[in-house]
Structures are given as C-alpha cells and as structure tokens.
Amino acid sequence: CKILRCNSEYVAATLNLRGPDRNAAFCSALRSYAHCTRKTARTCRGDLAYHSAVHGIEDLMIQNNCSKEGPVSPPRPRPPAPNHHQGLESLDICNYEKSFLYKHGQPPSYQHCAAFGDPHIRTFHDDFHTCRVEGSWPLLDNDYLFVQATSSPVAKGSNATVTSKLTIIFKNMKECVDQKVYQAEIDNLPAAFEDGSVNGGERPGGSSLAIREHTPGRHVEIRAEYIGTTIAVRQAGRQLSFSIRAAEEVARAFTEEQDLQLCVGGCPRSQRISRSKCCQGRMAAETARALCKEMLPVEDVYFQSCVFDVATSGDANFTMAAHGALEDARVFLPNAEKLHIFQ
C-alpha cells in the first residue's frame, strides 16, 4: 500500500502555497491527491490511513469549492531529505489523533462502549441493556478490532451470566503493528499479549500499541494510538469487565456481514433481561441497595445494575464492577454530560 507516498506528495505540493492563485493551486493538489489514492485503492482497501485520506480529500474539496474535474499539480521533484521527513512526521501515520488533526483541522470524534457485571452493555450509542448472552458473543467486529466475550452463569440454575473470558484481536496494520491477541480469564489478567510482547512488534510504529498494568491482576489498559483507541479490562470478584474509547471512524469501519456486535446494536431482544426482576435473588434488595449506594451515590443505570447483580448473586464484589465501569466511562466519554443514563 503506497498511501504514504500520496500523503507526502500532497504535503510537498501544498507546503508553500501563497498569493492570489493559492486556491486554484490547492484544488489542483487535491485532485492530484485524489488521483493518487484511486491508484492505490486495490492494495490499500483495509488500510486506515487510506480511508482517512479519501474522507479528508472529500471534505477539503467541499470546504474549498474545488471541482472534481480540472488541472492537476505537475509532478514535483522530491524535496530535500529534511523537509521530506518533516512532511511525513507531521502526518505521523501511527498516531491517529495527530494524523486526523493534520488532515481535517480538528480532533476526531470518539465513542464509548462497556460490558460489565451480569453482563450489562452500554453501546456506542448510549443504549443500555442487561443481557443473558451465555456462551461467546462479539462485542466488536470491525476492520481493525475483534473483541469476543464469553459468559457463564453467575450461579447454578441462574438466568444471569457474567463475563468469564475476553479475547481481543488487534488486526495487522502494515506500517504500524503486527496482529496481536490479548486474552484474559478470571484470575488471569496478563499484562502482555499472548505472544509475551507488550507492544505492537518490530514495525516502525510498534510502540503505538502498548499494554500497561494499573493494578496487578485487577486492571489492565491497552492503548492503540494508531487507531485512536484505548481499552480497559478489569476483574472485580468473579467477573471480567471491558471498556473502550474508540475513534468514531474506527468504530464504524465494518460491513453488513459484521452486523452482530453488542457494542453497536446492544443485545438481541431475545437475550435481554429486565432489571426489575432483581429482587428474586439471593440477597434482599434493600441490603443490595445499601451496599451499592456506598459506591454509587447517583441512582442511574450503573446503580440499578449494581443492585441487580448484588441481589441476584449475593456477591458484594459486584459493587466494584459497576464502580469500575463508571470510572472508565468518566475517563473515556467524550461528553461528560452523557456519563449518567437514567432509565
């Protein structure tokens, strides 16, 4: 995929535009850029930098009233090495935020999803479901990430389930990272990928994917700067939880065939549980409410989920699961006003 060459040629063509003909020259450079990306379309189809460039060109052509037909920039001699590197650096291909800002003149939009407790799913669209979903279900399945949660019953004979295993696959991205797989199970929350590494491998952008352990065996954070994404995996009591902050462009990069993603569509209707049935559990609802109130003073869906989980399982550790999910949301949510959901 030669998208880097298209990017650097565009940077070189627009670096020193001045004077009354600036707009016409800028439009010519954009048309050249578009022509270059079309030539790379076949080999770059799965490349995030390619898709960013295509969208960026469309936006810039609209903003500058450029017509799609017209003269293109003459091929320019490559600038001397220092400037060439400077151009590439300003378009750091393995730093999504910098690259997006450079192309669009504004930071990217982000979305948040979480799965915790019984499991409760907060989708990218701020819908909130409590689910049965026993067995393995995809939370995410797009061009860059695959995340699968495996659930087991919280107690023998119970309808309620908890996440007992998480599998996260960071898909291969040519310039930046090798494919990396992260797996967590109850009582085994490693601070490394399956192959023992703690970053994206030997490629130039390998450090744009990294694992950090916050609390040994309890809280791990994975930063994927090359796709503008951060993931938190936690264990509280006998269950795992998952939270993600993903660039909107990354969260939406999937086809119609990849339609089952709990983070996108929530739980299928047949798998949803009403939280109002919480009070048939192993602990009195009033006791559960008192325990949850200590950790979660606002009576929102995180509080309701906590009461449901503690009452159903009889395990006070579930207060920590809801509290951890709320803390992740506080850090990950682009809009703090959306932190609390009331149903």
In a domain, residue 158? The reply is yes
Q: Are residues 48 and 122 in the same domain?
A: no
Q: Are residues 26 and 138 in the same domain?
A: no
Residues 6+ apart with CB under 8 A from 121: 113, 114, 115, 127, 128, 129, 130, 131, 139, 262, 263, 266, 267
| pLDDT on residue 134 | 81
Using DSSP's 3-state secondary structure scheme, residue 226 falls into helix
In a domain, residue 105? The reply is no
In a domain, residue 298? The reply is no
In a domain, residue 285? The reply is no
Q: Are residues 114 and 45 in the same domain?
A: no
Residues 6+ apart with CB under 8 A from 54: 37
**Of 255, 272, 289, at which residue does a domain stop?**
272
Question: Contact at 8 Å (CB) between 292 and 319?
Answer: yes
Domain containing 35: what range?
2-64
Q: Are residues 50 and 164 in the same domain?
A: no
The count of domains in the chain is 2
Enumerate residue ranges in the chain where pLDDT < 70: 74-91, 155-160, 276-283
In a domain, residue 256? The reply is yes
Q: Are residues 206 and 121 in the same domain?
A: yes
> What is the spatial order of strands in the sheet that 161-170 belongs to?
135-141, 145-153, 161-170, 180-185
CA gap 152, 134 in Å, rounded: 6
In a domain, residue 206? The reply is yes
The mean of the pLDDT values for the chain is 87
| pLDDT on residue 90 | 38
CATH number of the domain within which 123 lies: 3.40.1000.10
* pTM for this prediction: 0.73
In tens, the pLDDT along 281-290 reads 556 889 999 9
In a domain, residue 154? The reply is yes
For residue 263, which of 158, 112, 156, 136 has the smallest C-alpha distance?
112
In tens, the pLDDT along 44-64 reads 877 788 888 888 888 888 888
Tokens 């490394």: give the residue. Answer: 192
In a domain, residue 103? The reply is no
**Of 247, 272, 297, at which residue does a domain stop?**
272
**Of 229, 252, 272, at which residue does a domain stop?**
272
Q: Kindly state the tokens that stand for 214.
A: 């916050």
| pLDDT on residue 128 | 95
Question: Contact at 8 Å (CB) between 244 and 110?
Answer: no
CA gap 182, 196 in Å, rounded: 10
| pLDDT on residue 235 | 96
Phi then psi for 194, rounded to 5 degrees?
-60, -30
Q: Are residues 14 and 152 in the same domain?
A: no
Q: Are residues 145 and 208 in the same domain?
A: yes
Q: Are residues 143 and 235 in the same domain?
A: yes
CA gap 279, 47 in Å, rounded: 49
